[in-house]
Amino acid sequence: MAEWKDGIAKITLPTPFAVGDVNAFLIKGERLTLVDAGVKTDECWNSLVGQMAELQLTPNDIEQVVLTHHHPDHAGMLDFFPDSVEVYGHPLNERWIHPTEEFFQIQEEFFKVNFQEFGLPAEFIPLLSKLRKTLKYTCNRSLTGHLLEGMRPPGLSDWQVIETPGHAQGHIALFRKKDGVLIGGDLILAHISPNPLIEPPAPGETERPKSQLQLNDSMRKLLFYPIQCVYTGHGEEVYQLEELIKKRLSRQHERAMTVNKWLKEEQLTVFEICKRLFPTVYQREPMLTISETVAQLDYLASIGEISSSNSQPVLFQAKL
């Protein structure tokens, strides 16, 4: 049952995705704010309506939405809200929640070039034409205003924005200093590690973002804040944050060093490594597993453990 705790009500919403339910949060501020908006399905909307009724509220009472990031399970249901409801988030969310034909083409070309570099077989290329369809659960809605590092969202004077890229390039968290509460989106989760998803370069940039390196830096960044409780985008709250961050960083390093061991034995492409890391999943979830594979290679390159060829596809090898 939804209930208020220190001005925050956790709303757990169903999704059609393997990750399961997603958490959204109502905050009593100068404006009643919904942080993240669930996925664009009737089931999700009906769940929101039902849980708000337990709080003697309706969606019409929501005055604004703040997004931690653009992914469909966090932004899709914006399409159910009237245009009068203001929406705030990092500016890099805009191209995902209000996509244009130009952005679709940029995205498809980016993945086409990278799939070739990664060594994906021809049968995976049709995935490019399906990229648009993956957005059927997201919204078509523009941001009212932008949130950047250190800002305080309108109507939430107790809350401070912390930029936390990695899982998504436009990812933010909200921190309330007076009691050490963080609404963390998908930056840190209690039971699973967020996927460092591959995204095209930001507007004006040319280099692919190194999502795993960003994610690691964002987790370490949290250690400089007096955080007592993290409300997460999926699952339960986190109270032992430092311990969990150390665990996440250690396990990611271990996975990368497993890849490094293989590369000491032979040269491999991204796709060949992906099949070894995820032998039962890579065909069903190619984008997720390729992202995770590239993440380990970016990390190994950053600590000077591997080198790569200029061939097509790119071959990776451990430095001796």
- What does the alpha-carbon distance between residue 237 and residue 171 come to, in Å, rounded to a whole number? 18
DSSP H helical ranges for the chain: 42-54, 72-75, 94-97, 101-118, 211-222, 241-265, 270-277, 286-302
pLDDT of residue 123: 83
pLDDT along the chain (320 residues), means of 10: 96 94 98 97 98 98 98 97 97 95 90 93 77 80 98 98 98 98 98 95 95 98 98 98 98 98 98 97 91 98 96 94
pLDDT of residue 129: 67
Among candidates 152, 192, 188, which has minimal Cα distance to 171? 188
- What does the alpha-carbon distance between residue 169 and residue 148 come to, in Å, rounded to a whole number? 12
Q: Is the pTM of this model over 0.85?
A: yes
pLDDT of residue 128: 67
pLDDT of residue 126: 77
pLDDT of residue 320: 79
pLDDT of residue 1: 86
pLDDT of residue 145: 98
Instruction: Indicate the CATH number for domain 4-98+135-242.
Output: 3.60.15.10
pLDDT of residue 260: 98
Domain spans, the chain: 4-98+135-242, 247-318
pLDDT of residue 130: 67
Residue type, 180: G
Domain 247-318, classified CATH 1.10.10.10, yes or no: yes
